[in-house]
Structure 1
Amino acid sequence: MSDEQQSSPFTPPPTGPVVDNTASLGKRLQAMVIDVVIMMVCIFPFAQNQGLMEIAEQQGTIPPELALKLVLFQLMMFFVLHGFLLHQYGQTIGKRIIGIAIVTMDNQKPPFLPLILQRYVSQWLMGLVPVIGILLRLADVLAIFRDDKRCIHDHIAKTKVIDLKIPVSHHQGKPDSIIV
């Protein structure tokens, strides 16, 4: 009997090498800078139109009603700019330009609502905590320097950011896939 005839149908097929397709810190930083610049380009005219610069200069602070307007405008702009790409591809504009994407831990496109609630709302809420909000956000971002290159918001959302130019990893002979 040949080796082929003796092999069990339950023997797992040979697997290829596991490839780490996690996006580099540099690419994640580039994408974030692009997203921040785009957001600032959109927010600055709104802030000018509302007189926020002059009011802050004169009063030393922005009145709560104007601060709320600014926050709501930022949220609206986030969804206008990034909503479609996040829903369709797990990418913001910056991530799309740089060639990286947010995926689940098995390299699938994450569902939109959990992605927004767990990954983004968690960051926004951390930033709103008086006094320590900035420290929470800093801890969130600094977590990227751990071995798995995932921020706290990645862990909360059970996501990772991958480099789309690196072939996806193989598990038990079957490649993971992502539709991007």
Structure 2
Amino acid sequence: MHWYYVKDGDKAGPIADRDFPDFVARGEVSDETLVWNETMSDWMPYGKVPDTLAAGIAQASVSTGPTCSICGKEFAADQLIDFENARVCAGCKPDFIQQIKENAEISGETVMQYAGFWRRFGAVFIDGIIMYVANLPIGFVLGIMMPLLTDGSEPGAMFWVAFAVMYLLQLLIPALYMILMHGKYGATVGKKALGIKVVMSDGSPLSYGRATGRYFAYILSGMILYIGYIMAGLDDQKRALHDHMCNTRVIYK
């Protein structure tokens, strides 16, 4: 809607509806000024504008239009770019894109870039090599001790004790590696190498307790024919089964 008013005997306008309250506030339009818009049948003094129109003008004079989520300035709706719950002006667009890349908070919400299936697979592959190298000495020691701890042709009690200890170590080493790395850094060496990390759904870091739960859920993902891992390639947020169970996300750093 557009307004017109009489100034010094001449018609002035058109003035957009959202801008008209400014003319009233500056005194360019007083109660005696003749005004007209498309909804009115004839010109009339502004002070006699019907209550419905006057109320609308009063509301417009105190309300604000949409604002940019980055700089906070007011813009017309068609001058802002909508992105989920954020609105960004053209001038702030480069900063906004940079914030997305850095998983920065925008309007109180965290915008995250989820790591894809193959990036996560690469991280698991690197961590697998690390675990293999870490367990090599254990297997080497067991191979040396085997003939020393056998009683004739049959393994003795000490052999089975040593075997049990080394087997538990082979289970404990990867568990401690995954839990401590995720709890402290949010990423294993493999994830760090590929620029990804694990966070909660709101972007906050994992606690050690959550990292422990995620490790056992991670084992479950592999026990069901690796379907839990494959889910990461099908999910819209790239979540594997253990991410669903623990409310975690794997994102780019």
Q: Secondary structure at the match of 2:126?
A: helix
Aligned to 1:6: 63
Deviation at 1:109, TM superposition (A): 0.8
Aligned to 2:215: 120
| Structure 2 residue runs without a partner (length 5+) | 1-20, 23-59, 70-85, 89-96, 101-110, 148-153
TM-score between both structures, scaled by the size of structure 2: 0.48
Aligned to 2:87: 15
More helix by share: 1
Single out whichever of 104-113 and 13-22 deviates more from structure 2: 13-22
Q: Secondary structure at the match of 2:224?
A: helix
Between the aligned partners of 2:87 and 2:188, the Cα distance in structure 1 is 33
Change in CA separation of 1:138 and 1:84 when aligned onto 2, cut-off 3 Å: closer
Higher RCO structure (Cα 8 Å, ≥6 apart): 1
Deviations 1:66-122 (A, max 9, x none): 6643442134323554454322221111111111000111111121212212x1112
Deviations 1:124-180 (A, max 9, x none): 3x38xxxxxx6515121121121322111111111010011xxxxxxxxxxxxxxxx
Aligned to 1:45: 137
**Would the aligned equivalents of 2:179 and 2:211 in 1 still touch at CA under 8 Å?**
no
Give the AA of the match of 1:87. Answer: G
Change in CA separation of 1:73 and 1:4 when aligned onto 2, cut-off 3 Å: farther
Q: Work out whether 1:26 is the aligned partner of 2:26.
A: no
Q: Determine which of 230, 235, 245 is the counterpart of 1:142.
A: 230
Aligned to 2:249: 160
| Structure 1 residue runs without a partner (length 5+) | 128-133, 165-180
Between the aligned partners of 2:228 and 2:160, the Cα distance in structure 1 is 27
How many residues were matched structurally? 150
Aligned to 1:167: none
More strand by share: 2
Structure number with greater Rg is: 2
